[in-house]
Amino acid sequence: MPAKRAPYPYVEPKATRKQRQEIEVVANQRARDWGFQIGAPLDAVCKKAGVDIEYSRRPNEILLEVPLEKRPVIWLPHAARKKDDRVTVTTALGHWALHVENTREEHQGCGIQALYKPDRSDALDEAQVFSLAFLMPSQEFVETWQQGSSQAVAERFDVPTKIAYLRAQSLELGDCS
């Protein structure tokens, strides 16, 4: 895994300041563009998005690295569970979809490193909103959530139960009925 501070000039992604609903529109469009299917593995999605996935040793500081002249890489920790990896991958894809183009335009000649613990969290927060919307589209999520089992929701979308609860909270849903 590369060092947090790479030898080439780099910047962290710049937030777009989009509202949750705007980010959800982008997430839904990218899901269609990249051929995402609910609960399906994300390898083909990443390939279609033009992003590689690699596993790293500790310390695992970089979530998404976008070098100047190479393919972008999502860095996953070796010891994570598959369901957690799905959230990590789609958070990185959120940075890729929302932040990379604008950040590159503003900082030409720099690579981009989205960190697990960034100096400022606003771009990471947007990427996480993208992740929830990408993995759990609102209509499908609401329909499943209303059936009454958070575990069933987590299984359908192949995410940790705590992530299903975060999605319900983002959509202002109460507990499962």
Domain ranges of the chain: 10-167
CA distances from 123 to 65, 69, 83, 150 (A): 14, 23, 22, 28
The 10s digit of each residue's pLDDT in 59-106 is: 678 999 999 888 999 999 877 789 999 999 999 999 999 999 999 999
Helix (H, G, I), strand (E, B) or coil at 55: strand
Do the Cβ atoms of 73 and 53 come closer than 8 Å?
Answer: yes
- pLDDT (0 to 100) of residue 170: 93
Neighbours of 40 (CB within 10 A): 11
Token representation of residue 140:
């499908």
pTM: 0.92
The 10s digit of each residue's pLDDT in 105-146 is: 999 889 999 999 998 999 999 999 999 999 999 999 999 998
The 10s digit of each residue's pLDDT in 16-66 is: 999 999 999 999 999 999 999 998 999 999 999 999 999 887 667 899 999
- Look up tokens 């697990």; give the residue: 116
Angle at 119 between CA 117 and CA 125, to 5 degrees: 65
